[in-house]
């Protein structure tokens, strides 16, 4: 997808500081932080929604989520986290490239909205 910002990041056309990366996924800090430490796990190949993502990539997706959280949990002193995946515009998906939000949580902290 020529106009897809996540494809451009995956291809190195837009520089980014990757938190973690494996063969099919990478993670970066979200450019529109809803809460400090808000990060994204993004597929390297273009899939529009999680329904398009092959199930064979499930283990690598989970690997990227886990390794990203483990790298950030101490840095931001998280007590918990949410994983959010918006699919289709009516559900709040803005970038039409599958991605998962990792949202740090602390007891008594604000509940972020992710769109």
Catalytic residue IDs: 99
Token pair of 48 as six digits: 């529009």
State the Cα–Cα distance between residues 41 and 66, nearest whole angstrom.
10
DSSP 17-79: --SEE-SSEEEEE-TT-SSTT-EEEEESS--SSTTTS-GGGHHHHHHHHHHHHHHHHHHHT-S
């Amino acid at each position: 997808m020529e106009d897809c910002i996540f494809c451009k990041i995956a291809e190195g056309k837009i520089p980014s500081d990757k938190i973690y990366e494996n063969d099919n996924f990478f993670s970066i800090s979200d450019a529109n932080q809803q809460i400090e430490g808000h990060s994204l796990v993004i597929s390297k190949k273009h899939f529009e929604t999680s329904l398009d993502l092959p199930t064979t990539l499930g283990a690598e997706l989970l690997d990227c989520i886990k390794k990203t959280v483990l790298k950030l949990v101490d840095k931001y002193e998280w007590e918990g986290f949410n994983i959010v995946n918006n699919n289709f515009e009516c559900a709040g998906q803005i970038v039409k490239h599958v991605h998962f939000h990792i949202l740090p949580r602390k007891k008594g902290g604000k509940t972020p909205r992710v769109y």
